[in-house]
Amino acid sequence: MSAESRTGNTGPDNTAPDNYLDLRAALGDPVLDAELLELALTHRSYAYENGGLPTNERLEFLGDSVLGVIITEALYAHRPELPEGRLAKVRAAVVNARALAEVGGRLGLGEHIKLGRGEESTGGRGKASIISDAVEALIGAVHLSGGITVSHAVVHALFDDMVSTALSLGAGLDWKTSLQELAAVRGLGVPEYVIESEGPDHRKSFTARVRLGGSLYGNGAGSSKKEAEQMAASSAYADLTGTAVADA
Q: Which of 64, 119, 227, 229 is catalytic?
A: 64
Does the annotation list 136 as a binding residue? Answer: yes
Catalytic-residue membership of 64: yes
Q: Which of 38, 102, 136, 227 is catalytic?
A: 136
Does the annotation list 160 as a binding residue? Answer: no
Catalytic-residue membership of 57: no
Dist CA 206 CA 223 (whole Å)? 6
Does the annotation list 229 as a binding residue? Answer: no
List CB contacts of 173: < 8 A, sequence separation 6 or more.
Answer: 89, 90, 92, 93, 166
Reference 164, options 230, 84, 90; nearest CA is: 90
Residues forming the annotated binding site for Mg(2+)? 60, 133, 136
Binding site: residue ranges?
60, 133, 136
List residues with catalytic annotation.
64, 136
